[in-house]
Amino acid sequence: MACQNNLVVKQIIDLYDQISKLECLKPSKNVDTLFGQLVSTCLPTDTNIDVTKMSDEVKDMRSNLIKLCGEGEGYLEQHFSTILGSLPEDQNPLDHLNIFPYYNNYLKLGKLEFDLLSQHSSHVPSKIAFVGSGPMPLTSIVLAKFHLPNTTFHNFDIDSHANTLASSLVSRDPDLSKRMIFHTTDVLNATEGLDQYDVVFLAALVGMDKEAKVKAIEHLEKHMAPGATLMLRSAHALRAFLYPIVDSSDLKGFQLLTIYHPTDDVVNSVVIARKLGGSTMTGVNGTRGCMFMPCNCSKVHAIMNNRCKKMMIEEFSAIE
Ligand SMILES: C[S@@+](CC[C@H](N)C(=O)[O-])C[C@H]1O[C@@H](n2cnc3c(N)ncnc32)[C@H](O)[C@@H]1O
């Protein structure tokens, strides 16, 4: 297994060398091919690779690679959001989201996050905040369109151009134009009103290294309502070369409920936590919910999904 690990890490380093030499990371045949190869190289989860135990040289490469992936992802979203926003007036951009190369991944990720969210609370969230929504706020769109038809989504992004593109994406939709609201701010400056959301999502690309990620989580812990749910994205095995990892130790002030590691082409792991101090039986607006209380011990269940592959789900002790 060791030499196989070394081989795959060498492939990743080689791809990093090519990507880091690119003039620009905007979508093109070459950029798309390299990022496509990188994602498929990092997808396998049947490996015992732990990126945190690699050499300093590989760790440095990883932190640069995560930043390059984030930059590339931003350009990709900007590119397709611009195309969709410039469709003729009689076309609804939301009817053409499948031109985005990773749209199916977002459909699966949105379903996964909705299912896990439902497992840990039964009251339907009336207001959700998505921090780091981007030019293509697909998580909010997928949840709003397919899973939470009565919920309002407040999308926060530091980049005003991202919000301009995102707003025009939903502006022609009779439903989502009313339920998708955009705020331009660095999450670290968002203080007012964060306590009004039942659920706060933190995008994988907000906080690109451990220090910045913990700073964002600490800020949310300070301003979220007790009992509110925090949904985060992490990474597992080789996928940690693409995105930052969220550890349980990063979640001070929260009760860690579940960490879910997909093994299909949904790249991100999903982490769900609840801000301490609230009643486990009510939402932030006092609505009662009979929370599904996770098992009272930390154990790892391997469950079969409908594609006969193993997934890993870890549930953590509930604080009685
Ligand atoms: C490219 S999007 C990816 C999210 C994806 N569209 C989704 O729906 O899951 C990530 C966004 O996070 C934003 N971002 C990064 N750091 C941020 C911060 N500190 N505060 C708010 N937004 C931030 C970036 O501007 C970028 O648009």
Q: Does domain 102-315 have CATH number 3.40.50.150?
A: yes
- Which helix (H) or strand (E) segment holds residue 9: the answer is helix 2-20
Nearest CA to ligand 1 atom 4: 133
- Regarding the beta carbon of 205 and ligand 1, being less than 6 Å apart is answered yes
Q: Is the pLDDT of residue 314 over 70?
A: no
Q: What is the pLDDT of residues 143-158, one digit of tens each?
A: 999 999 999 999 999 9
Give, as one character, the DSSP assignment of residue 43.
Answer: -
- Regarding the beta carbon of 163 and ligand 1, being less than 6 Å apart is answered no
Report which ligand 1 atom has the smallest distance to the Cα of 73: 1
pLDDT at 48: 84
Interface ipTM above 0.85: yes
Residue from 159, 205, 153 nearest 184 by CA: 159
pLDDT at 53: 92
On the 0-12 / 13-18 / 19+ scale of CB atoms within 10 A, 320 is exposed
Evaluate whether 288 touches 227 at the Cβ level (below 8 Å).
no
Q: What is the mean pLDDT of residues 119-139?
A: 94
By most ligand atoms within 8 Å of CB, the mutation choice from 112, 113, 143, 205 for ligand 1 is 205
Distance (Å, rounded) from C-alpha 228 to C-alpha 241? 30
Instruction: State the distance from the centre of ligand 1 to the C-alpha of 91, rounded, in angstroms.
Output: 26
pLDDT band at 2 (very low <50, low <70, confident <90, very high): low
**Helix, strand, or coil (residue 27):** coil
pLDDT at 47: 84
Instruction: State the distance from the centre of ligand 1 to the C-alpha of 75, rounded, in angstroms.
Output: 12
Q: Which of 35-44, 169-178, 304-313 has the lowest mean pLDDT?
A: 304-313
Q: Is the pLDDT of residue 128 over 80?
A: yes
Instruction: State the distance from the centre of ligand 1 to the C-alpha of 206, rounded, in angstroms.
Output: 6
Q: What is the pLDDT of residues 81-126, one digit of tens each?
A: 999 999 999 999 999 999 999 999 999 999 999 999 999 986 899 9
pLDDT at 6: 83
Domain boundaries, the chain: 2-85, 102-315
pLDDT at 1: 58
Q: What is the mean pLDDT of residues 183-205?
A: 95
Q: Which of 172-176, 184-188, 275-279 has the lowest mean pLDDT?
A: 275-279
- Which helix (H) or strand (E) segment holds residue 272: the answer is strand 269-275
Report which ligand 1 atom has the smallest distance to the Cα of 109: 9
